[in-house]
Amino acid sequence: MKKNFFKNKNLLITGGTGSFGKALVEYLIKNKFQLKKIIIFSRDELKQYEMSQNLSVKKFPNLRYFLGDIRDKERLQYAVKEVDIVIHSAALKQVPASEYNPFEFIKTNILGAQNVIEACINSNVSHVLALSTDKASSPVNLYGATKLCSDKLFTSAQNISGKKKIIFSVVRYGNVMFSRGSIIPQLLQEKSLGYFSITDPNMTRFNITLNESINFVLNSLTIQKGGEIFVPKLPSYKLLDLCKAIDEKCKIKIIGVRVGEKIHEELISSIEARKTLEFKNFYIILGNYEDQSIRLPSRKDKFVKKNFCYNSEKNKNFLSIKDLNKMIYK
């Protein structure tokens, strides 16, 4: 990783008290990234207080805790003053909640994304990277639809940035292991009941650890050119295998697919495949922007095959029960 890229720069993380944001700050401190400032921007004062108990400004003078909501453009504009890099991880994420509270998800995930973009353009921010989700590819629920809209806003932002030297990109990946609200903590709680509640026995999911997501985001920042979506190559797992990895003696209770839930997730659709480049450990979905010279495929770049689809069911790389068990109980 090109750590010099971050030296003496100011970084702002929206949703900085979430699972990703908190882990990212801890990683940057532990690995001694020489950032001038790390600004933790979030709307939850309790989470900021709790985070500051371990990561205090007194102990780490380059930390700043900034209370605010990405829905509040004026507050966001103030927060990004003198900021060089923005990692946008703030979002409403729970699928069932999105189906019953659509206006709230639109305000945060779409209008909030627009506020982030406009605030960054109006300031001297040079690099912006937004976090997305596998649910944004061929979405079937409102959460996925709002994140697809967010992806489109960030990848198209190069068109409206004018002559300003600012780069917008997106990182899209699957389920983060042990993140807040994810399936593994839920199944570990159910273990004591003697059964696991799952929606469908055929379900598969992509998997990425928090550290893997952090490394991928930081690496993507150092190579972004503008308008692209970075997608890591990830392993999949079968939901039934995950249950067996936690406790093979527990019974399985099938509760049925929830509203807006997919049986298999997707990171790259067959439509997006038309403009997807493949590299050793990741893919890049090229953006739609006026200045095509920003990223023109070189002779060494390789497009994926026609009708390619990066799907958790058809993935070549699957985690075994033993692999999952080691990851859960390490």
Within-domain flag for 131: yes
- Number of domains present in the structure of the chain: 1
pLDDT per residue over 280-304, tens digit each? 999 999 987 544 445 555 556 789 9
pLDDT range class, residue 257, cuts 50, 70, 90: confident
135 belongs to the catalytic site: yes
pLDDT range class, residue 247, cuts 50, 70, 90: very high
pLDDT per residue over 27-68, tens digit each? 999 999 999 999 999 999 999 999 999 999 999 999 999 999
Within-domain flag for 320: no
Within-domain flag for 246: no
What residue numbers bound the domain in which 163 lies?
Answer: 3-177+208-234+266-311
Please state, in angstroms and as integers, the Cα–Cα distance from residue 31 to each residue in 35, 86, 245, following that order: 11, 19, 32
Within-domain flag for 258: no
Q: What is the CATH number of the domain that holds 217?
A: 3.40.50.720
pLDDT of residue 235: 97
Distance between start and end Cα atoms, the chain: 26
Structure tokens at 203: 């379900």
Whether 259 shows a pLDDT value over 90: the answer reads no
Distance CA 44, CA 19 (A): 13
Nearest C-alpha neighbor of 241 from the set 137, 328, 154: 328
Within-domain flag for 55: yes
Residue 116, exposed/middle/buried by CB under 10 A (0-12, 13-18, 19+)?
buried
Catalytic residue among 135, 147, 238, 244: 135
Within-domain flag for 154: yes
pLDDT per residue over 181-214, tens digit each? 788 998 999 998 999 999 999 999 999 999 999 9
Within-domain flag for 185: no
Residue whose pair of structure tokens reads 């409403």 in the numeric block: 92
